[in-house]
Chains A and B, each alone.
Chain A
């Protein structure tokens, strides 16, 4: 069983909702983004998504776009992201998922990437603009290297494609709670629950739900029907606001504890 599957199995057996975090590799710089991963793990994040900065993040909203720019300027890219993961792997118990646009992965070469990622201790991969239809050989390469391929599901995903994603994907499914680009919102989208219900009818694979989550009550709300909530833009904003302040790492850790705290009582 993969580290990701293990984590979700444990969450389920403990009846505890999970928290998945997203940060960009190299934001605000490579040494500190490594420290951030360790802080997230200490604060109890259950899965760490590491975003690979890409020049053209067309599915991302302004917050992640800015993070991407900071990370690119600081030397963030697929190679440095993998080196960073390799360096923190021994200090972090949570599974690590590489979250990337397709082009950096293809530029490295899919099999070269699979080998290097597995070597670095990566557990899963999510390629944002590589839908099921384009992911056939990609998924086989990942599987061969022992990596989970995580597929996205959106409110526009048909039931038939949900089934295929559950069949071809492994680890967990990543549900997008609303149409649009990434970004924090005041409330969780009303369509989120309906999406999860459609997924549950078709598969027992765990579901993490993202897009728009920023507060403990969102996490609690999502936890009522999904296996985990994903926090991205709001966490990235916390990093941006802390900037070069010496308490950056503490603030990140505090923020995640705050998010986790509420659903412990939910």
Chain B
């Protein structure tokens, strides 16, 4: 299979055998309407100019590319560069997509926005975009995520969004998407569903990728400017996979650049204790798209676990499934504990608190840097900032310390 520069899915929304449009009948026409509206603005210079202006003046783009020298040293290998999406307004890459889609919604005449959120970053970005454009905003969030990301819940409410607690199923991102889709299917005439990742029915995986691809376009220019060449490897965390697709996209045709997605290994790769779809999943259909899914033998979706709410999801974006199938990208997974270590490492060595999601990328990039050696260049997408996670980190570090002390205690006694 050849990879061409503009890798759009086919007319039915498929990347190879992944993607498509598996929606209830009521949503078929709205999704087609969305596709028509998106394709119209995609090639409309006025839309692009308006979005670019907001990305520059409001979001603060371009975000810097920063060489993390102390992290490089500590990782004993390659030069490591961080694409600083954590420095965007609202603190994560999610705003790139939220603004793009909110502008599109306004153009379509939809004044009410519904969105799901996992870690809360997409919810905050959507609430922000809605405040800016004067749109009504309703965010669905799993009960477990609301508890572990309380700060973001409060931020969304300050921004004027209504946040609904979802108690169904695993009470995380997947259940929030179900509830947002139920809202959409009920209020479809005046409501726009602002999906936060490269998931869901076509055209979402395409549209979200395009809105996030600004990350890779900037990074490509910046790395060439700073090092005179392309990186050897790019590492990004993958929940649904929008930050990863966003940075990979500009490098797809540079076959010499390794593209590495990092999934949540959770506690370990046993059923229900992780969210590594390529480690424990198989092709299936979830929430509008055919992709790799964590499921049991009867086709029910399995529970997932990750220390980071943003990676705690049972399916991966269909384009990732395709990139892996054609051998263009590779995927690894990192445990909660390794991510926690990387969170502290980056904080102490570089003075940057990464989001726990991004900490997964840092952890794996350290292995890659070591393996590639000092002549190599590794680019990490630092997709978000870690302020939202400090309570989770604190709780887990306390637990870790307690466990260590227990162990030491036992050792002394025995």
A interface residues with partner B (beta carbon < 8 Å): 54-59, 61, 65, 72, 77-79, 101-108, 128-131, 133-134, 151-158, 161, 176, 179-181
Interface size band for B: 35 or more
Do A179 and B189 touch (CB < 8 A)? yes
Question: Which B residues lie within 8 Å of A181 (CB)?
Answer: 182, 185-186
Q: Which of B12, B186, B301 contacts A56 (CB 8 A)?
A: B301
Cα–Cα, bound, A161→B27 (Å): 13
Docked-complex contact B28 and A102, CB < 8 angstroms: no
- Cβ-neighbour of B25 out of A55, A79, A103, A131 (below 8 A): A131
By a CB distance below 8 angstroms, the chain B residues around A176 are 25-26
State whether A107 and B298 are in contact (beta carbons under 8 Å apart), knowing that A129-B23, A152-B24, A157-B25 are contacts in the complex.
Answer: yes
- Which of B174, B185, B300 neighbours the largest number of chain A CB atoms within 10 Å of its CB? B300
Of the listed residues A57, A58, A65, the one surrounded by the most CB atoms of chain B closer than 10 A to its CB is A58
Residues in chain B near residue A180, CB distance under 8 A: 26, 182, 185-186
Contacts of B288 in A (CB 8 A): 129
> Could you pull out 16 A-B pairs where Cβ atoms are within 8 angstroms?
A54-B299, A56-B286, A58-B181, A65-B168, A77-B299, A102-B285, A103-B284, A129-B288, A131-B22, A131-B24, A134-B20, A153-B25, A156-B29, A157-B25, A179-B185, A180-B186
B29 touches A157 (CB 8 A): yes
Q: Using a CB-CB cutoff of 8 Å, which residues 248-268 of chain B contact chain A?
A: none
User: Do the beta carbons of B29 and A55 come within 8 Å of each other?
Assistant: no
User: Do residues A108 and B21 form an inter-chain contact, with CB atoms below 8 A?
Assistant: no
Q: Which chain B residues lie closer than 8 Å to A72 at the CB level?
A: 300
Q: How far is the CB of A112 from chain B (nearest CB, A)?
A: 12
| Chain B residues with CB under 8 A of A106 | 284-285, 299
Closest to B33 in A: A156
Contacts of A152 in B (CB 8 A): 24-25
A239 to B376, CA, bound (A): 65
List the 10 shortest-distance A-B pairs measured between CB atoms, nearest first.
A107-B299, A104-B299, A180-B186, A77-B298, A152-B25, A55-B300, A154-B26, A59-B24, A156-B29, A58-B178
- Beyond A106-B284, A134-B22, A157-B28, 13 additional pairs, beta carbon < 8 A: A54-B299, A55-B301, A56-B174, A56-B286, A77-B298, A102-B22, A103-B285, A103-B299, A103-B300, A131-B21, A156-B188, A180-B26, A180-B186
Q: Using Cβ atoms and an 8 Å threshold, which residues of chain B touch A79?
A: 298
Q: Which of B25, B30, B293, B299 has the most CB of A within 10 A?
A: B25
- Docked Cα-Cα span, A107 to B285, in Å, equals 9
In this assembly, does B287 line the interface, its C-beta being within 8 Å of a C-beta of chain A? Answer: yes
Question: Which residues in A have their C-beta under 8 angstroms from that of B284?
Answer: 103, 106-107
Q: In whole angstroms, how far apart are the Cα atoms of A129 and B26 in the complex? A: 10
Tell me whether B134 is interfacial, beta carbon within 8 Å.
Answer: no
Q: What residues on B are CB-neighbors of A56 within 8 Å?
A: 169, 174-175, 178, 286-287, 301
Q: Are B299 and A108 in contact (CB under 8 A)?
A: yes
Q: Mark B29-50, 1 if CB is under 8 A from A, else 0.
A: 1100000000000000000000
Is the beta-carbon distance between A154 and B25 smaller than 8 angstroms? yes
User: Which chain A positions have C-beta within 8 A of B88?
Assistant: none
Given the complex, which residues of B lie within 8 Å of A57, measured CB to CB?
178
Per the 8 Å Cβ criterion, residues 150-203 of B in contact with A are 168-169, 174-175, 177-178, 181-182, 185-189
